[in-house]
Chain A
C-alpha cells in the first residue's frame, strides 16, 4: 500500500469513526425502574440554601420536573400540592425540580401556584438530561431506598396518582 493510499484510508477511517462516535455519544441518558434516582445537590427555590433527593432517603418521593413556561405544569401544580398534603404524614413527600427555566419566572410561578413541598432549581437542562427527560412535566416515584419505582413522562392528575402511585406506596407496607 502506497503512502498516499494509506493516508486516504486513514482519513476515511477517521471521518467514519468520528461520525460513529457522534451517533453513539448523542444518545439520551436512559433510566429504568429499579435504577438509583439521579441526584445531586441543587439550589433551593426560591432559596436560600440547597437540597437534594438524598435528604429524603427512607421516604417515598415523587420527583416532579417542571418549568414556569409549561402550560400543563400550571394545571399539575395544585394536584401535586393536594397529593403532598394528603400523603405527607404517610412517609411520603414531593420534590419539585425546576428545569430549563429562568429563576425569576420560576419564583413568580411559585407565587402564583404556592407549594408547601421542597422545590429545587436546576440550571439549564442538566437535571433534565440526567433523568433522560423529553419534556416537562415529568414525574418519577422514588422508593425509600432511593430507587425508581415509577417513571411517568407526562403530567399527573388525581386519577393517575390514585391508580398508579398510591398502590405502589401502599403495597410496600
Chain B
C-alpha cells in the first residue's frame, strides 16, 4: 500500500515537472497592455487599472503602453510601475498592518484545519478505523428475544 502511494507521488511529481519544464525553460515573454491592466491598480481610484477611467488611470495606461511597446516583460513593467507609483500599484495586499491578515488568515486557517484533521484521524483510528472489530457490535439478544430469534431462524431451515 505504502509502495503504491510512493509510486503514485513519484509519477505525479515527474508529470508536473514534465509539464512545467517548457514554462520554466522559456525566456520571459513580452507582455501586453491587457495582460498588465488586470493585475495592477489605479492607486487613486482604488480599483483595478482595467476598470478605471480617471485622468490618473489614463496616464498610467499610457505609461504601461509605452513600456509594452519598448518590449518590457510583465515583471519589468510591474517593477517600473512600483518605482513610479509605489507598492500600492500592485493588486496585492500590503504585508503590514491590517492587510497582513490577507496572508495570515489562510495560513492560520490551513493550520487549524490540519490540526483538526489530524485529531479526527487519530480519533477515528483509536475508535477502530471503521473496521468491525466487534467492540461496536450490537449486544447479542437475550431472554425472550434470543428465543424468538432461534424460532424465526428455525422456521427458515437454514
Residues of A in contact with B (beta carbons under 8 Å apart): 18, 21-22, 25-26, 67-71, 100-105, 123-126
Contacts and interface: CB of A to CB of B under 8 A. Distances in A.
Contact of B56 (A22, A100, A103, A123): A100
A125 B43 contact: yes
Contacts, number: 50
A105 B56 CA distance: 11
Interface residues of B, number: 20
B122 interface: no
Contacts of A103: 84
Nearest to B42: A100
Interface in B20-50: 43-44
A136 to B, nearest CB: 9
Given A100-B56, A124-B88, 9 more contacts: A69-B55, A69-B56, A70-B55, A101-B56, A102-B60, A123-B83, A125-B43, A125-B88, A126-B86
B106 interface: no
A68 B58 CA distance: 12
Contacts of B60: 102
A118 B86 CA distance: 22
Given A22-B101, A125-B88, A102 B59 contact: yes
B59 A68 contact: yes
Contacts of B88: 124-125
24 contacts: A18-B105, A22-B98, A26-B98, A67-B56, A69-B54, A69-B56, A69-B58, A69-B59, A70-B55, A71-B55, A100-B43, A100-B44, A101-B56, A101-B59, A101-B84, A102-B85, A104-B63, A105-B59, A123-B84, A123-B86, A124-B86, A124-B87, A124-B89, A125-B88
Q: Which 10 pairs, one residue from A and one from B, show the smallest C-beta to C-beta distance?
A: A124-B86, A69-B55, A22-B98, A25-B98, A69-B59, A69-B56, A123-B86, A102-B84, A124-B85, A102-B63
Contacts of A26: 98
Contacts of B56: 67, 69, 100-101
Nearest to B44: A100
Contacts of A69: 54-56, 58-59
A128 B1 CA distance: 62
A102 B59 CA distance: 8
B101 to A, nearest CB: 6
Contacts of B84: 101-103, 123
